Structure 1
Amino acid sequence: MDSEKHQRYQAAMVSIYCPETSFLNHLVMPDGTEQSYSSDILKRLHSGEVFIVNSRKRNGLILFKRYHAEFAGPGAAVGGDYDCDCQRVLSIGNLSLLPPESNEERQKAYLIRRQWIRLIRQITENPIPQQRVQKILDQFEQYFTPEMVDDLPDATFALLVGVLPQTVGMIRRLGNDENCRLNY
């Protein structure tokens, strides 16, 4: 009897969650429009070439892999073998990708990419999903304007820090209401 209830519960969870994982086919922006992806950027990443996100601009690239997303901020390397599994991309700001001028510049860009990955990993190590969301939102608002951050879909942040998109939406709503703050 208990195992029957358990199986029904699991089936219900799967049927609710699975549609949410197909968002990579289309991301709906907060203003209700669908985000179209620049196939040019994706083609460049899949070409095997390595590029560097321009460190002199407020820009970045969110790289959607099969089960997660990665952020490559200013100064980070993108492309090459490292991003051959990238399925979608979302640029933040006025994206500028530059080819590395030397092997030293390429190595430095890979180190910067690793630093961005470590920053996100530190955030995801927090066991409380709401705190992970708040931290990633705070970090993005340090690098980009609040308007830029507001324009990013909930699902983007969800894949960056391993939470459900609904959790991101809840934290964003609570963050906008000064009377509703989570106590953590």
Structure 2
Amino acid sequence: MDSENRQRYQTAMVSTYYPETSFLDYIVMPDGTEQSPGSDILTQLHSGKVFIVNSRRRNGLILFKRYHAEFAGPGAAVGGDYDRDCQNLLPIGNLQLLTPDSYDERQKAYLIRRQWIRLIKQITENPLPQQRVQKILDQFEQYFPPETVDKLPDIAFALLVGVLPQTVGIVRRLGSDEYTRFN
């Protein structure tokens, strides 16, 4: 009888591996709407031109790469050869991309992009996933209003700090202290 149950269980399993499909073909927002990568901004990034996220606004971009995401905040360079592998993106706030006027302005924007990457790297160095999630949520709430952060999907934060989207959802609902107590 055990072998019958085991066999029935094995045949009922469904594979979720799709080698030719990326889960970033679309992003489901918390309100249930889908955002597809067919945006004009993504086309601009793939053109090879370099842009700068306007440093005078509370805005930014989450850039989804194949296995992770990067955040480019105010003042950061985006595009060029650096972001040709971007599969999707998520604008945050009132996004405005500017064209650098000079070589120096472009170099400064690249340095700012590195600073944003270093900030996320510091967060990901924490060995506890729930603390990484709490820290990235705290950081985003420093730059953006809480209602803006609440609208961002769990997968965005998960790919930024290397955790499962379910972990982000639990921490958002319970907080990192409650998550630790239950796990």
Alignment TM-score, normalising by the size of structure 1: 0.84
Specify the code of the residue in structure 1 equivalent to 2:44. Answer: R
In 2: Cα distance, 1:172 partner to 1:180 partner: 10
Q: CA deviation at 1:144?
A: 0.3
For residue 82 of structure 1, what is the aligned residue in structure 2? Answer: 82
SS of the counterpart of 2:142?
Answer: helix
- Assess, with a 3 A threshold, how the Cα gap between structure 1 residues 48 and 22 changes in structure 2: closer, same or farther: closer
In 2: Cα distance, 1:101 partner to 1:137 partner: 33
Q: CA deviation at 1:148?
A: 0.6
Q: CA deviation at 1:28?
A: 1.2
- Assess, with a 3 A threshold, how the Cα gap between structure 1 residues 94 and 38 changes in structure 2: closer, same or farther: farther
Q: Is the 8 A contact 2:37 2:87 kept in 1?
A: no
In 1: Cα distance, 2:15 partner to 2:121 partner: 29
Q: CA deviation at 1:90?
A: 0.5
For residue 9 of structure 1, what is the aligned residue in structure 2? Answer: none
In 2: Cα distance, 1:72 partner to 1:160 partner: 11
**Which segments of 5 or more consecutive residues in structure 1 lack a partner in the other structure?**
1-11
Q: Does 1:135 align with 2:153?
A: no
For residue 50 of structure 2, what is the aligned residue in structure 1? Answer: 50
For residue 153 of structure 1, what is the aligned residue in structure 2? Answer: 153
Cα root mean square deviation, aligned: 2.3
For residue 118 of structure 1, what is the aligned residue in structure 2? Answer: 118
In 1: Cα distance, 2:179 partner to 2:42 partner: 39
Q: CA deviation at 1:29?
A: 1.0
SS of the counterpart of 1:48?
Answer: coil
Specify the code of the residue in structure 2 equivalent to 1:139. Answer: Q
In 2: Cα distance, 1:86 partner to 1:132 partner: 23
Specify the code of the residue in structure 2 equivalent to 1:119. Answer: L
**Which segments of 5 or more consecutive residues in structure 2 lack a partner in the other structure?**
1-12
Aligned sequence identity (%): 78
Render the CA deviation track for 1:91-145: whole Å, top value 9, x for unaligned.
0011100000111000000000000000000000000000000000000000000
Q: CA deviation at 1:22?
A: 4.0
Q: Is the 8 A contact 1:124 1:161 kept in 2?
A: yes
Q: Is the 8 A contact 2:36 2:88 kept in 1?
A: no
Q: Does 1:104 align with 2:104?
A: yes
Larger Rg: 1 or 2?
2
Q: CA deviation at 1:34?
A: 1.5
Q: CA deviation at 1:181?
A: 7.1
Q: Does 1:40 align with 2:40?
A: yes
For residue 6 of structure 1, what is the aligned residue in structure 2? Answer: none
Structure 1 stretches of 4+ with a deviation exceeding 4 A read 179-183
SS of the counterpart of 1:52?
Answer: strand
SS of the counterpart of 1:91?
Answer: strand
In 1: Cα distance, 2:38 partner to 2:152 partner: 15
